[in-house]
A and B are shown apart, each in its own frame.
Chain A
C-alpha cells in the first residue's frame, strides 16, 4: 500500500511530539507536529491531513474540543485519540464524536503505526463510498 498519507501529531509535550514526528519521518511517513489545538487547526487550513493523532489532555483547548473543530473543518480526516489518562468517558465521548480509536500513553510505536494505517484505510474506504 502506498504510504503517501499525511499524519499530524498534536501534543503539548514537546519532547514527546518532536521525537514521535522524527521517528515517523524516519520510517518514511509524512508526519508533522502541532503543539496545541489552535495551532493544529491553523495547520489544517494550510494543508490536508489523512490521520491526526490527538492528545486529549492539553492546556487551553483540550483534545475533545479540538476534535470537534477538526471534524467540522475536515470531516474526512481520521483522528486517533491519545492520552495518559484512563478516563474512559473521554474515550467514549471521542468515539461518539467520530474519533477512529483511542490509545493510551505510552504507546508502542509499531502499534501506533498499525493504528494509523487502519485509520487511513478506513478513510480510503469511506472516500470511495462517497465518490
Chain B
C-alpha cells in the first residue's frame, strides 16, 4: 500500500517538475525554430531574387553597350563611309580590341545587299537579306536583337541590327555576336551543385545551354515563364523534388532570364543549425529528465526515511506504553504470588525445622515427609525465580550503566524461554567463555536484545531444531562477541538488507510488529556495539553481536 502511495506521489512530483521545465523549453524551442526558419526562407527567396536581378543587369548592360556601340558607329558615319571595306575593317579591328564578342560586321543597303562585310565568312556578301524577318524588323524599329539561331554558320549566335539613314536612304549596320558570351554571363548565376540558369525567348525556347534543364533550342524543364510581365520567385517540384525558380524579363531583348536553385543547398546552414539545435534540445531534455529523476528520487527517499522514522517513533511510544501497562500488571501479579509463596516457603521451612526435632525412625513416613518438604521448598524456589524474572522484565527503566555479566544475562533469558523451547522441541546450547570481562551496560536492555533474537529464532525454526549460543572475549578489539545461531530456514538474500528496518516482517499479519530487530539494532547502537547477520537459505541464520568492554 505504502509503496503504491509513494510511487503515485513520485509520479506526481516528477510529472509536475518535468511539465514545468519541459513545456516552456519546448515552446521556446519551437517558436525560435519557426521564426528562424521563416526568416531564413525569406532570406533565401530574397537572395535568389537579388542574384537574378544582378545577372539581368549584367546582361542588359552587355546588350546596352553593344547597341550603343553600333548605334554610335551607324549614326556618326554615312553609308558611303562604311561601304569602304578598308575603313570598316579598321573600325571592326578597333571594336574587336575592346570586345571579342563580335564575329563579323556588315553594312546592308535598303535592297538587302551587303555593301561591305568584315568577318570570317566573305561568301555571305552574296546573300540578300531583304526578305529576312530581322531585316524588316530592324527597318521598322531601328534596333533589333534576334533570337539565338544556328543559321549559315552552324553554331549558336545572334545578331544586333541598327538602322541609320543617309539622306532618304535607310541602311542597316548588322553585327553577329557569339552567344558563348551570353552563356558565360548566365552561367555565373548557377549556384551550388544543382543550381541552373538559362535564357528563354517568348516562345519558351532555350537561348542558352543550361546545365540540367534541357538543350538549347528546346523547351526548358520547369514552369513556363515566357509570358511573365514582372520578376517573380516561385517554388516548383521536379521529380518530387522542390526547387526555387526566379524569372525576370531583360530590358533590351524579348528574353527572360530564369535561375533555378536547390533550396536544400541554400538551406544547408539552416538545416545544420536545426540539427545542432535539435541535439542541444534533446540533450537539454535528457539533462532535465535525469536531474528531475535523481532529485525527486532522493527527495522521495528522504520522505520515506522521515515517514518511517516518525512511524517508528510513534510505534515505539505505543510499544513502550504497552510495555508499561504490561509491566504494571506483571508487577501486580508477581506481588500477589510472592506473598503466598513466602508463606508456603516459611511453612515448609517450619515443617523441616520441626521434623529435625523428631526422633529418627519414630514415624515410618518421616522420610517421605522430609522429601515432600524438600520438594515444596525446591518448587517455591522455582516459582520465585519465575516471579522475580517477571518483575525484572516488567521493570522498564531508562538505560542505566551497571555491571553486566553477559553469560548470566544470557542464561536468564534462555531460562525464560525454556518452556516455549521445550514445548517446540528446540534445544538451546550455550557455549560460554567462563572468564568474560564484566561489561558496563544495561542488563535489562541486553535481555530484551537476546530475547528478541531468540524469539525470532524459535519462530523461524517452528519445531524440532537447535539454537547455539557462543560467547567469547576478543582481546584485539577489547570486545565481547555473542553469537546466536539457529538451524531454521534462513533469510533470503533480498530480505537480508531489510531485516533491521522498522516494520519489516515476514510473519503473518498481526503476528509480528516488524519492530523486534529494529529495537535490537537501536539498543545495540545505543550501547556502542554492533550487530551483524549472516544467513543461508536452508542452513540457518547467525546473529553476531559485538559489545565494547569499557
Contact = CB atoms under 8 A, between A and B. Distances in A.
A104 interface: yes
Contacts of A108: 381
B338 interface: yes
Interface stretch (A15-23, A36-44, A67-75, A119-127): A15-23
B66 interface: no
B342 A106 contact: yes
A13 interface: yes
Interface stretch (B110-118, B167-175, B211-219, B388-396): B388-396
B502 to A, nearest CB: 30
Interface string B385-403: 0001001101101000000
B201 to A, nearest CB: 123
B334 interface: yes
Given A85-B335, A86-B391, A104-B388, A13 B350 contact: no
Contact of B339 (A22, A23, A84, A109): A84
B388 A23 contact: no
A105 interface: yes
B346 A19 contact: yes
Interface string B340-352: 0111111101100
Interface residues of B, number: 26
Contacts of B384: 106
Contact of A107 (B337, B342, B347, B394): B342
B331 to A, nearest CB: 6
Nearest to B353: A26
Interface in A82-117: 83-88, 104-109
A57 interface: yes
A87 B331 contact: yes
Given A15-B347, A16-B346, A19-B343, A84 B353 contact: no
Given A19-B347, A22-B350, A109-B349, A84 B392 contact: no
Interface in A10-62: 13, 15-16, 19-20, 22-23, 26, 57
B380 interface: yes
A34 to B, nearest CB: 16
- Which secondary structure characterizes the binding site on chain B? helix
Contacts of A107: 342, 345
Contacts of B334: 84-86
Contacts of A85: 331, 334-335, 338
Interface in B348-391: 349-350, 353, 380-381, 384, 388, 391
Nearest to A15: B343
A15 B339 CA distance: 10
Contacts of B342: 13, 16, 84, 105-107
Contact of A106 (B331, B350, B380): B380
Contacts of B339: 13, 16, 84, 105
A106 B385 CA distance: 10
Contacts of B350: 19, 22-23
A105 B353 contact: no
Given A16-B339, A104-B338, A104-B388, A23 B395 contact: no
Given A15-B347, A87-B331, A88-B395, 4 more contacts: A26-B353, A86-B335, A104-B391, A105-B338
